[in-house]
């Protein structure tokens, strides 16, 4: 479903030194894979998702989505394949527009907007049904501006928007990290329900090592711009967080450094 080969991304530092964020990354994602990605701070996890989504150009390498080479396609062209949820709940929705308007734009992801009505009554009915599944009472607030919603509600809405027109690839970048523990739990559950229930292909960055092993079917560990570990079932099913940390030490010779992971 997604294949990247020899991906390299270098950011220019202020002092003229390049920072290698992705260092010859190869990855093959099968249809239906739900992959969790962990790694130390600055490992290049977000950069990988951003490069796949087209937010940054690559310096080298190729990206294929569903067999199609998208390496030089701009972000908005690739968006027809990709649903995204960001860490910051503010990024995924337009605050001044209503819930139904946001959903309507997401529903037509990848289609050139035209002069037909932005939201139809049929769509409203569908939105109401889908929102009811979130169990947040949003189904009665279609005409409310999204800016009135809480962070958790906005993130749930973003998740719904990212998946309302089935994406070939769902990219989740620490999408529960900015939420309080209880809300994070709910959004996590919702993610599992949506991705698992509809057999979506997804990449999810998390700093919670426990979650990394519990969610999905495959786990990647990144460090210094490289994928250093790619664990699949059945091996993954037997792994514990301690095993993960040990693996990291064995591979890198240093301790796994993610302040948030250690706190979690």
Ligand X SMILES: Nc1ncnc2c1ncn2[C@@H]1O[C@H](COP(=O)(O)OP(=O)(O)OP(=O)(O)O)[C@@H](O)[C@H]1O
**End-to-end CA, the chain:** 32
Calpha distance 246→54 (Å, rounded): 34
User: Does residue number 98 form part of the binding site for Mg ion (CB under 5 A)?
Assistant: no
Distance from chain centroid for Cα 92 = 11
Q: Which CB atom, from 46 or from 102, has the smaller least distance to ligand X?
A: 46
Q: What is the DSSP string of 142-193?
A: TTSBGGGS-HHHHHHHHHHHHHHS--SEEEEESTTTTS-HHHHHHHHHHHHH
Among 13, 15, 67, 115, binds another protein (CB under 8 A): 115
User: Does residue number 18 form part of the binding site for another protein (CB under 8 A)?
Assistant: no
User: Does residue number 206 form part of the binding site for Mg ion (CB under 5 A)?
Assistant: no
Calpha distance 7→47 (Å, rounded): 11
Range in contact with another protein (rule: CB under 8 A) among 34-42, 90-98, 212-220, 249-257: 90-98
User: Does residue number 118 form part of the binding site for another protein (CB under 8 A)?
Assistant: yes
Range in contact with Mg ion (rule: CB under 5 A) among 3-11, 39-47, 75-83, 196-204: 39-47
User: Does residue number 201 form part of the binding site for another protein (CB under 8 A)?
Assistant: no
User: Does residue number 82 form part of the binding site for another protein (CB under 8 A)?
Assistant: yes
**Is 12 buried (19+), middle (13-18) or exposed (0-12) by CB count in 10 A?**
exposed
User: Does residue number 77 form part of the binding site for another protein (CB under 8 A)?
Assistant: yes
User: Does residue number 46 form part of the binding site for Mg ion (CB under 5 A)?
Assistant: yes
Least distance to another protein from the beta carbon of 115, Å?
Answer: 5
What is the DSSP pairing of strand 169-173 with strand 82-85?
Answer: parallel
Q: Which CB atom, from 55 or from 257, has the smaller least distance to another protein?
A: 55
- Which residues contact Mg ion (rule: CB under 5 A)? 46
């Amino acid at each position: 479903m997604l294949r990247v080969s020899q991906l390299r991304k270098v950011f220019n530092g202020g002092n003229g030194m390049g920072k290698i964020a992705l260092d010859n990354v190869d990855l093959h994602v099968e249809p239906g894979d739900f992959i969790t990605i962990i790694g130390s701070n600055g490992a290049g996890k977000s950069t990988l998702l951003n490069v796949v989504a087209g937010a940054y150009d690559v310096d080298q390498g190729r990206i294929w989505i569903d067999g199609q080479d998208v390496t030089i396609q701009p972000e908005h062209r690739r968006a027809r394949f990709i649903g995204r949820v960001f860490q910051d709940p503010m990024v995924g929705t337009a605050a001044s527009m209503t819930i139904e308007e946001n959903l309507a734009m997401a529903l037509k992801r990848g289609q050139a907007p035209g002069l037909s009505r932005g939201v139809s009554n049929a769509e409203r009915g569908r939105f109401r049904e889908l929102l009811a599944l979130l169990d947040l009472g949003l189904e009665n607030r279609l005409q409310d501006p999204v800016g009135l919603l809480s962070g958790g509600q906005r993130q749930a809405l973003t998740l719904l928007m990212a998946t309302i027109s089935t994406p070939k690839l769902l990219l989740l970048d620490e999408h529960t990290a900015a939420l309080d523990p209880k809300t994070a739990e709910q959004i996590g559950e919702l993610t599992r329900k949506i991705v698992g229930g509809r057999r979506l292909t997804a990449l999810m960055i998390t700093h919670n090592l426990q979650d990394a092993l519990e969610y999905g079917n495959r786990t990647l560990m990144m460090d210094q711009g490289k994928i250093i570990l790619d664990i699949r079932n059945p091996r993954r099913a037997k792994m514990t967080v301690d095993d993960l940390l040990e693996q990291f030490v064995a591979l890198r010779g240093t301790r796994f450094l993610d302040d948030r992971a250690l706190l979690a």
